[in-house]
Structures are given as C-alpha cells and as structure tokens.
A and B are shown apart, each in its own frame.
Chain A
Amino acid sequence: MKRQALTTTLIAYAFLAPALVLLGLFTFYPVLYGSYLGFTDYTVADLASGEGPRWVGLKNLQFVLGDSLFQTGILNSLKYLLVVPLLQIASLAVAVLVNQKLPLMAFFRVGYYIPVVTSISLAAVMWEWIFQKEGFLNWSLQLLNLINSEGRFNWLLNEHTALWAIMLVTFWRGFGYYMVLYLAGLQSIPAELEEAATLDGASAWQRFWLIIVPLMRPTLLLCSLLSTIAAIRVLEEIIVFTGGSGGPLNSTYTALLYVYNKSWGNMLNANFGVAGAAGLLIALVGFALSYLNFRLTREERSER
C-alpha cells in the first residue's frame, strides 16, 4: 500500500517535472538572482570584464529610496492602483449584463474582448488620435459644451492628465479580460437564488448588490489581486505613450519604468544592482497588497 502511494507521488512529480523545470529556470532562478543582485554592485562594465557581483549590503536600497525619481515612480504607481476598483466594478457590471440570454449578446462579449487581443502599439496609435489636441476627446467635450476651442489641450502632454489618460487605456485593455473571468464566475451562481429573490420582489439593483456581488466575492478578490499586481507593474503603456521618458515632467514615470531604465532601457549603461534593489522594493509593495487581498479572502471564509 505504502509502495503504491510512493509510486503515485513519483508519477505525479514526473508529470509536474517539465513545468517545474521551466518555472525554476525562467521564474524562480531569475527572481532569486535578481534579488541577490539588489544587494551587490554590478554594472555592465563588470559584466563585460567578467567580474562577478560584489556584495554591498543595503547600499543600493538606500540609494534607490533616496532617489527622487524612484519616489516619483512609486507615487505614480500607487496612483495607478486607482484603476483597480473602477475596472473591477465596471467589468463585473458588464459581465452581468452580457450574461443575459438576449439576441446579439455574443457580439457584445466579443466586442468587449477585442481590446484584450489588440496589440498595444496599434492601440497606441488609436488612443493618440483620441487624446491629441484636435482629437476625439476634446471634440466630444466641445460638443457637450464642457470646453471651448481655447480650452483644448493634448491629454498626453499635460502633467495633470497624462497619467489618467494612460490609465484609461489600461482600463480599456483590461476590461474584456476581467469580464470573461466574471462571466465564468457568474455561470456558477445557481439560477434559483436569483429567481427566488425576484419572486420576493427584489429589484435588479438589489439582486446585483445582495446576491451577485457576495457570491462573486472569491472571483472579485482574485481579479482584484491580478489587476493590483498588473497596475503596480505597469510598463508597456508608459513606454509606448511616452517613448520611455515618463513625461511630461515625469508625471507618468512609474516605479517599474525606473527599473527598466536602469537596466534594459539603457543596456550599455545598465546598473543591475540598483535595478535589482528597485525591483525588490516594488515586489515588497506588491506583496503587501497581495497580503491585504488574502486577508480579505480569509475573513470571508471564516464568516461562512
């Protein structure tokens, strides 16, 4: 009997092995090595002359924490988190809407999902048209008499709006993805519950807040976690819209852009130690936020 259990375990690990090897090689090893580099002095010059990293303890962390550019980056990344609740509420609400058995629903589901599979460079061209001075956004605001033609401005060139404009693009890109996750979650809610509530005279609004949202809480928390991590790691959008400068006036300079510019972005002047230390700090913020999410899930479980 024991032998059989051992065999089962071995077989299970044999099946897991390919994935474990890949994970180890391309995820765990880089993460561990990158973290180690955060405590060392290691630049391109060392790399080129074949010298290894030199341990310097907390020097890089001190440097990064004192660098005003990194502080700006962290602040902007935290601001970026505001996209998370908006994105989750909106995609859940739309998931509920497209979950109904009405004609053309497949069309809407596909429509909302298209931004997810659209390449960011293509999306950037479209959004640049929308945000420019003679663009669609200003035109719409003018039609609504919210601004006059003197009030038009390029949304990506104003330090008060640039980050929000890029957040809108993240929202647009993530919306369909979370909607699909929520749709899957909604399928698991027993239809009887809603029917019973309807018979008891609950309005659509009440059914949404009192039945769907509580039952969807596990999915909500999963999606929030995923989008929190995505928001704290935002980079693609910033590079595409600002050419990696994080402008105007560093108003879109995020924490991960700092890491990128200290390493891959300026490879021939890369400082892997500083980049590693900054990466570690961002990971810490990510961990803290994930912990918060898990805490919320646990409370939820003990309530039941």
Chain B
Amino acid sequence: MFKRWIAAAALALGLSALAQTQIEFWTYYLSPNFDNYIKSTIADFEKENPNIKVRWVDKQDTMERDLTAAVALGKAPDVVNLWQDSTFAAAQNKILTPITQLVNRNVLNQLYYPNALDMFVTEGQVYGLPWYGWLDQGVMMYNPDLLQKAGVDVRSIRNTDDLLAVSARIKQATGAYGWLPPVKDPNGASFLGRFFLEGLPVYDRDGKAAFNSPAHVALLQKYVDAMKNDIIPQELLRKEAFQLSNELYSQGKAAIVVGAPTTLNRVKEANPDLYAKTRIASAPLGKAGIQTGGAMSLVVPRASKNQSAAIRFALFVTNRTNQVKFANVVPIVSTAAGSENDPGLKAKSNDPLEIGKGMNSASGRLINPGFKPPKNTDDIYKNFNDNIEAAFLGRKTAKQALDDAVAFWNANAK
C-alpha cells in the first residue's frame, strides 16, 4: 500500500513538473540594488501563475553579447530588458518576436502611454513593452554658494540659452563650470538631442537627415564657441556629460547639474556637505519646450520556447501596479497609462524632494523620445560623433561638419 502511495506521489510530482514552465528573465544592471524589488515582483507573479517559474539573471556589460550567444546556442532567455537602440538593432536583425503577434495592439494602447509604446515601434510593429522610463532633463540641481558668488539668480534661468549664459558668468566669477551639456557619447548621438530640444528637426519630411540648415549650424557654433572659451569643459568629448557632471559637481568644480534626481545619490556619497546644501529647481528647457527621455523595454526573443508564458510575465512586470511599486523604490518614470492619477505616486509628506520624486515618476506621458535612430545606427552615429568632435576641436567648421554628417547619413542609412 505504502509503495503504491509513493508511486502515486512521484507520478503527481512528475506531472506537475511537466506542467510547470520555467522562463528565464534577464535584466540590465539591476542587481544588487533592486534585488528585493525584482524578487518580490517575481514571487507575486509566481503566486498568481503557479505553473510558471521565473529564473532571474541580471546581465551587465555583456548583455548584448550574451543575448546573441544564447540565441545562437538555442538557449535563448524568454524575457529580456533592452533599451531603445538595442531593441531596434535586435528587431532589425530578426532576433525578436513582434509583441503585436502576441498581444493585440489595442490592448497595448490601453496599457501604456502612446509615446512610450511608440519608442519601440519599427516597421509598423511593437517590439518591446515599455518598462521603467526617465526624463533627460529631469530637474536642475545647483550649488547655491557658487551661484551666489557669481551673482546669479536661479529664477533668471528659464531655458538652455540662459543656462549657457549663466555658465559663462559662473566660470568667470568662480572658476567653476556652470552647466555641462551632453555633446557626445559612445553609444548615441547626444548632439542630435540638442537640435531636437531646440525645436530643430533631425529628419525632413521624406525621412532623410536634414540637420544642416543655418539654424542647426548656428546652434552647433554656439556650443563650439562655449567649449573654445572653456565655458564648457573639453573633457565632454571624452566622458559622458552625466558622469563628468557628477564628478565635477561633487568636487565643487561645476555649479549646475540638469538630470534625474537620482544623480544626487552619488553626490551624497562623495560629498555629504555639498549634498546638504544642494537646491533643486525645475529643469530649464530648450525652445521646443519639451522634456526628452526614454524607457527600457522588455522584449521576447524569437528563439524563446515559452512565448506565451514570457509575454504574460512581461505584461505583469510592466503593469501599472508594479511600475508604481518600482517608482516607490527608486524614482523611475512609470510608462503605464494612468500613472499620473495613481494614488501610489502621490507624495506622502510635504517634503520637496518627496513631491519632486512623485511628480517625476508620474510624468511618463511627457517623455518625448525625440527621433527614431536610423538603420545602420552604429556606423552613422560614429560618423556623426566624429564630425561633431572635429567641429569642437576646430578641425572643421560647424557647417562643414554638419554637411559631412548629413551626406554620410543619407548615403548609409539603408
């Protein structure tokens, strides 16, 4: 009798194991800081879906390589956290399942802000579910001592032109830099963002690159002159602006940081006194009056063997409840529709930082992704950055640099 019980139990276990699907979930740089949040989200999901087990792996620098290798080895993960450029590259190389094949587009339209969803649309298909987002401009953090020394009233800084003008005054009066604008970065084309923020188009109506008008040239020239006069540091050609801003601000060598409020966490670690002094104001915008930003995506590789379980999990992680929970752990911007009215994002006290964080997280509908990256992104962005660099180093005129970049772009964006 006992033996028969054992056999039955073993059979039952075996069957349940058969019925259980295991999926693999890859995140990007979220461990160890957000272990608790990710693990509890997975636990919630597994409770609701007892037949699906989620194995979580956090990938860092080697994400793209590992994804390609895993796909090639037939061991593709089921849900992967990518970003806009990598989602496009992976979609163009047919690594991803179009989300619209798994979920009806109308359903997606109800679940996410249209601007966020649109970030992952290429060739008419959605390739990624929008996950946590951010605003590039975010807020303006400043060192009041340096501003005071330079006689700058923070209320006079209303747009990026003001920021540049004030930076010149701060540099002259204190020797410290003012604001450090992104001009070049290894993975993108920052200066295109500057055009966009000032309301200058990147493409013409036919989708051809068209950023060499006199207005574009004048804008580039303005920043070139600023670097020539050491109002913005030349080091911006080598280091990303957010990294350099952080370093110099913490050392008291830069007065203003424009970006996500989370920047302050690093300042807090590096220079607690300065952190205590730091003041926050709303971010000055460019002439277009928009906040650019972006979002992470969750994608499903075509080689995933558990597509339906995968999309179920991806929808769960990116739903409003879970994004709002995430926003309460770290001030991300929720991309789930309706977040602006979610009670979970209302400040629980009158603390200004608290209010700021809540406002920030609830502003997903304002994220403007800017422009779509071109095909053949790597070569084109490399050429663009080389040209921008040549202009900043005085080896090409601003006009020549932009003309060359436009010509290369239109010849190579196949």
Q: Measuring CB to CB, which residues of chain A are less than 8 angstroms from any residue of chain B?
A: 43-45, 47-49, 132-133, 154, 156-157, 159, 242-245, 247-250, 261, 264, 266-270
Contact = CB atoms under 8 A, between A and B. Distances in A.
| Interface size classification for chain B | 20 to 34
A44 B385 contact: no
Given A157-B235, A245-B382, A267 B395 contact: no
B393 A249 contact: yes
A249 B94 contact: no
Given A44-B93, A49-B94, A270 B68 contact: yes
A264 B389 contact: no
B86 A242 contact: no
29 contacts: A44-B68, A45-B95, A47-B68, A47-B72, A48-B68, A48-B94, A132-B235, A133-B234, A154-B234, A154-B235, A154-B238, A159-B393, A159-B395, A242-B238, A243-B186, A245-B385, A247-B237, A247-B238, A247-B385, A248-B393, A266-B89, A266-B378, A267-B68, A268-B67, A268-B95, A269-B89, A269-B93, A269-B377, A270-B68
A249 B395 contact: yes
Contacts of B393: 157, 159, 248-249
A151 to B, nearest CB: 14
A48 B304 CA distance: 11
A44 B235 contact: no
A250 B386 contact: yes
Quick one: which of A48, A133, A159, A250 has the most chain B CB within 10 A? A48
Closest 10 CB pairs of A and B: A268-B89, A267-B64, A45-B93, A243-B186, A48-B95, A44-B93, A266-B378, A267-B65, A267-B68, A268-B64
A77 to B, nearest CB: 18
A27 B238 CA distance: 35
Given A249-B390, A268-B95, A48 B235 contact: no
B305 interface: no
Interface in B217-269: 234-235, 237-239
Interface of B: 64-65, 67-68, 71-72, 86, 89-90, 92-95, 186, 234-235, 237-239, 302-303, 376-378, 382, 385-386, 389-390, 393, 395
Contacts of B385: 245, 247
Given A45-B95, A268-B89, A268-B93, 19 more contacts: A43-B93, A44-B68, A44-B95, A48-B303, A133-B235, A154-B234, A157-B234, A245-B385, A247-B238, A247-B385, A248-B237, A248-B238, A249-B386, A249-B390, A249-B395, A261-B378, A267-B65, A268-B67, A268-B68
Contacts of A47: 68, 71-72
Contacts of A247: 237-238, 385-386, 389
Contact of B71 (A48, A243, A250, A264): A48
